[in-house]
Structure 1
Amino acid sequence: MNFEALFALSPNPYVVLDAELRIAWMNDAYLQATMRERADILGRALFDAFPSEPGTDSHDLLHASLHRVLDTGERDEIALIRYDIAQPDGTMTQRYWSATHTPLLGDDGQVSHILQHTVDVTELQALRRMRDEMGLIQRAGAIQARNTDLQAQSERLRRLFEQAPGFVAIVEGADHVFQMANAAYRALVGRDDLLGRPVAEALPEIVEQGFVDLLDGVLASGKPYFGRNEQIFLEIEGRMEEMFLEFIYQPIFGDDGEPSGVFVQGYDVTEEVRAQRRQELLISELNHRVKNTLAVVQGLASQSFRSVDPEGEARRIFSQRLHALASAHDLLTRGNWEPASLRESLIAAVTAATGEDVARFVFDGPPVSLTPQIGVSLALTIHELCTNAIKYGALSADTGTIAVDWHLREDDAGRQRLTIEWRERGGPPVTAPERKGFGSRLIEQGFVIQHDGSALLDYRPDGLCCTIELELPATV
């Protein structure tokens, strides 16, 4: 929470003086009350910006109050002081004020700044003469009520910050000194003594891990840094523990527009990352076992075909189909058996069947995700189409090409249906076969039962066309 911004919005005039009584900051209410511009007084000595003659009550009361704060480190108040203010036209106007001076201590415990809260009581002073301080009491009560409300709001924001579910911290300055750290942040790092300490001192184990360098980069560039599942080792109760964090380092900008600190916010995703690793291990084990199973099937097929297929043609076709199935499985396991991209599935299946001839294909269509079951069926179908194109179709000629297009539509029941069109051009003239082989039946029936789909083979003279249509599950 940017408390400077809160004070800037306060209707009460505030000004901050450094130890040399130079004006370091003021809010808009103070500028309005004193009829000055920020650029005219920022950085100037108070008595230079608002001159008064030494020896007068105006000068001596204010001077003495400020120096009591510097000398004792305790708050001081001026119930009433006349301090005239120059108007924009240069003439002086008589003004009466009530002021409270609060010390702000530095890291060394000494007074580094003074917060002056001033109240213009000129009107009250005039009313006092007529109504014996009645107006002052009423206005003082209103001011007190406003201050109480501001304190209540500040406390509420502090509680919200402390109870935030994610870890939150604010660090300021070149050394990244902790200004705030909520309960989740303190629990994450396993220590409570953070406030007022530089990050490198409070969390020395993260320095060599590069996190202080990241803070330096955010402060220097003014650009946020996003950490995605980043590994970190924190010393918890005397031992180093591995964690994974999702976080952002957001720069905090001062009045001059320059970064003055960093807002840290994020979540501990250690369990999610470890669960993902376990899943990846199981997927790898599944892939290994499936490949072993396919290898055993291929070996059994080789032995079984040996006596009935002397030329080896049936054995070769069967092996190619197994290879297409294995390629589809590889694509799915690389994605942890999650839905796979239709474009990637098509390219993988075509590459497995045609090799470098994949360059003769043109793929066009919107992004579509396929379930693993549909992906496997599609891989086998595309393999059969590629095999046919190599033997009899576009890929049997040097100039032949194949276009694969797809599109989505919604049927009357609101379900998504996918249409894939395979069009060959540039090959020899096409005629319908006298009888359908296993490959044609696999193409035409591959999507009928499982996916409420169809595949239509159209043997056009200028090139084979195949139109595949199926229903996409609602989860895709």
Structure 2
Amino acid sequence: MPQSRQPLQSSALAAASLATLRRGDQLFETERRLNAVLNNASVSIFLMDDRQHCVYMNRAAEQLTGFTLAEVLARDCPLHDIVHHTYPDGRPFPLAECAIDRAFPQNNHERGEEVFVHADGHFYPVGFTASPIRDDSANIIGTIIEVRDISEEKAAAERQRLLLNELNHRVKNTLATVQSIAAQTFRGLAEVGARTVFDARMAALSTAHNVLVADNWESASLRSVVTRALAPHLLAEVDVDRFRMDGPDARLHPKVAVTLSMALHELMTNAAKYGALSVPEGRVHVTWSLEPMADDRQRLDLLWEEQGGPEVAAPARKGFGSRLIERQLPLEFDGRAEIEYRVAGVVCRLEVPLTALGWMGQDVITGQTAP
């Protein structure tokens, strides 16, 4: 990625020694070293006094703000009124509303993001850390602020968001095309319900994709996956007590999230047509836990239980839903899946080792692997 910043250029004042609170030759070498460190740092550093006026800014701070230290000192006002005085929508930004300046009066360590105003008038986003400065008696005498320009990070995040939205849009178009092909394929066939089942499965897949898009396709909330997979049936029920869902939340790898969504959709559809949800007194319990594994991963243990429905008998042949659950989950994730057709109701147990988050090779690129 090309670098947008120019080489740092400092005024004479920014390169000058920091004013000391005590005078004496023993401080000279310490000051010289401190100035060398500050003026070669890539992060912008500001020192504020007890009036929240800037008394020092390093080279990076001058480059960031467009102001020289001489210009800032000449203004003789809080730094906020120089670089942080206006909201991006044009409204005045009072000093009292500034999170950065709360570090001094409230004796806080503040961290966050704000939008500064450059000397030429343009706005730019920054990440900041503001900490109080104490004297030998622990009295607060000022604030040190570290600031970095996050414009490129924000731009990269926005590009990623646009790409993900475009990806989601194209996936939805692909699913719509598949549904159109299915409509033509099923036209004239005797089994009218086949089209309905197919459309419902496409909708379940689309819902799983929506969960992932909400988190930039990096991961998905386990609780959200379960809730959204069951949502169409939950919304249709007057008696919400027919469902019980209980278990801790966790972050799921996108592949796990999609497959689990489809499995839950098949179980719920079967319960609504033939099982516990096909009669008013039926109940469905979905409970899960996270169990530690020997390789430091966790295993998702999920239990689906139906009660109060018609008597159950094992089907003569297994359909798509059963094959998806009993074959795909173990094959894809080295897990275990079992469906029991008990007389009192269907019971399904899933054991899914949770895949590490991130993309293949991420640990190598980001230096997370041990040397």
TM-score range, shorter chain: 0.7 to 0.9
Distance in structure 2 (CA, Å) of the matches to 1:395 and 1:254: 70
Residues 190-199 or 439-448, more deviating: 190-199
In structure 2, the residue matched to 1:302 is 183
In structure 2, the residue matched to 1:370 is 252
Could you tell me which of 30, 46, 71 is aligned with 1:153?
30
Contact preservation (8 Å) 2:253, 2:356: no
Structure 2 counterpart of 1:231, which letter? V
Distance in structure 1 (CA, Å) of the matches to 2:101 and 2:80: 16
SS in 2 for 1:429: coil
In structure 1, the residue matched to 2:122 is 241
By how many angstroms is 1:364 displaced?
2.7
By how many angstroms is 1:350 displaced?
1.0
Residues 446-455 or 147-156, more deviating: 147-156
By how many angstroms is 1:301 displaced?
1.0
Structure 2 counterpart of 1:206, which letter? H
In structure 2, the residue matched to 1:181 is 57
Structure 1 counterpart of 2:228, which letter? A
CA 1:399/1:443 → structure 2, altered by over 3 Å: closer, same or farther?
Answer: same
CA 1:341/1:278 → structure 2, altered by over 3 Å: closer, same or farther?
Answer: same
In structure 2, the residue matched to 1:289 is 170
By how many angstroms is 1:203 displaced?
6.0
In structure 1, the residue matched to 2:310 is 428
Contact preservation (8 Å) 2:54, 2:78: no
In structure 1, the residue matched to 2:335 is 453
Contact preservation (8 Å) 1:324, 1:353: no
By how many angstroms is 1:190 displaced?
1.7
CA 1:202/1:468 → structure 2, altered by over 3 Å: closer, same or farther?
Answer: closer
Structure 2 counterpart of 1:187, which letter? Q
Structure 1 counterpart of 2:186, which letter? F
Structure 2 counterpart of 1:171, which letter? M
Contact preservation (8 Å) 1:353, 1:383: no
In structure 1, the residue matched to 2:324 is 442
By how many angstroms is 1:253 displaced?
5.2
Contact preservation (8 Å) 2:84, 2:115: no
CA 1:198/1:222 → structure 2, altered by over 3 Å: closer, same or farther?
Answer: farther
Structure 2 counterpart of 1:286, which letter? L
Gaps of 5+ in 1: 1-114, 118-146
Distance in structure 1 (CA, Å) of the matches to 2:294 and 2:79: 66
Distance in structure 1 (CA, Å) of the matches to 2:265 and 2:322: 11
Structure 2 counterpart of 1:166, which letter? V
Output the TM-score relative to the length of structure 2.
0.78
Structure 1 counterpart of 2:155, which letter? R
Deviation per CA, 1:57-90, whole angstroms, max 9, x where unpaired? Answer: xxxxxxxxxxxxxxxxxxxxxxxxxxxxxxxxxx
State how many pairs are aligned.
Answer: 327
Contact preservation (8 Å) 2:271, 2:277: yes
Superposed, which structure 2 residues align to 1:219-234 within 5 Å? Answer: 219-228=104-113, 230-234=114-118
CA 1:439/1:473 → structure 2, altered by over 3 Å: closer, same or farther?
Answer: closer
In structure 2, the residue matched to 1:168 is 45
Find the structure with the greater CA-based Rg: 1
In structure 2, the residue matched to 1:208 is 86
Contact preservation (8 Å) 2:301, 2:352: yes
By how many angstroms is 1:281 displaced?
0.3
> Larger RCO: Structure 1 or Structure 2 (Cα < 8 Å, ≥ 6 residues apart)?
2
CA 1:202/1:216 → structure 2, altered by over 3 Å: closer, same or farther?
Answer: closer
% identical aligned pairs: 37
Gaps of 5+ in 2: 1-20, 88-92, 359-371
By how many angstroms is 1:196 displaced?
5.8
By how many angstroms is 1:363 displaced?
2.7
Distance in structure 1 (CA, Å) of the matches to 2:349 and 2:152: 46
Structure with a larger share of its residues in strand: 1
In structure 1, the residue matched to 2:155 is 274
By how many angstroms is 1:397 displaced?
3.0
Structure 1 counterpart of 2:31, which letter? S
Distance in structure 1 (CA, Å) of the matches to 2:74 and 2:167: 52
Distance in structure 2 (CA, Å) of the matches to 1:316 and 1:273: 43
Distance in structure 2 (CA, Å) of the matches to 1:202 and 1:419: 53
By how many angstroms is 1:257 displaced?
7.2
Structure 1 counterpart of 2:111, which letter? F
SS in 1 for 2:333: coil
In structure 1, the residue matched to 2:363 is none
Output the TM-score relative to the length of structure 1.
0.62
RMSD: 2.9
Distance in structure 2 (CA, Å) of the matches to 1:216 and 1:205: 12
SS in 2 for 1:208: coil
CA 1:216/1:407 → structure 2, altered by over 3 Å: closer, same or farther?
Answer: closer
In structure 2, the residue matched to 1:67 is none
